[in-house]
A = this chain, B = another copy of it.
């Protein structure tokens, strides 16, 4: 297991075993919901409190260590902060994939038309993944 002590400290968070495990769970699982994270954490810390999960998710969000992805017709999932990217959601199996699309020129165009100063995008494309539509 990678040592996430530095990562946590860089984001002004004390490196507790629980937090290190949370970061590791996100690293290994990609996009994780609160309940799902709680289950994962219970395996390592049989007496961890759900409040600890919520508290840390919020702290990590505030300190930009993790990012919340809001999905249509589903609960939010959380991931380690990476460079801005979009998401593919399979409506059948629930699979979530990252996709890197360069939205710069598109955003510039919208910015000019609307006179909005845009600095962030949340883009979720829903449908059926390869496995779910290939039969």
Contact = CB atoms under 8 A, between A and B. Distances in A.
Contacts of A126: 118-122
Contact of A125 (B68, B116, B127): B116
A70 B68 contact: no
Interface in A101-126: 101, 106-107, 109-111, 113-126
Interface residues of A, number: 34
Given A70-B70, A113-B99, A124 B122 contact: yes
A128 interface: yes
Contacts of A133: 117
25 contacts: A70-B71, A70-B72, A72-B120, A72-B122, A86-B110, A90-B116, A99-B110, A99-B113, A99-B114, A101-B109, A101-B110, A106-B106, A107-B125, A110-B125, A116-B127, A116-B128, A116-B129, A116-B130, A118-B125, A118-B127, A119-B126, A119-B127, A120-B125, A121-B124, A121-B126
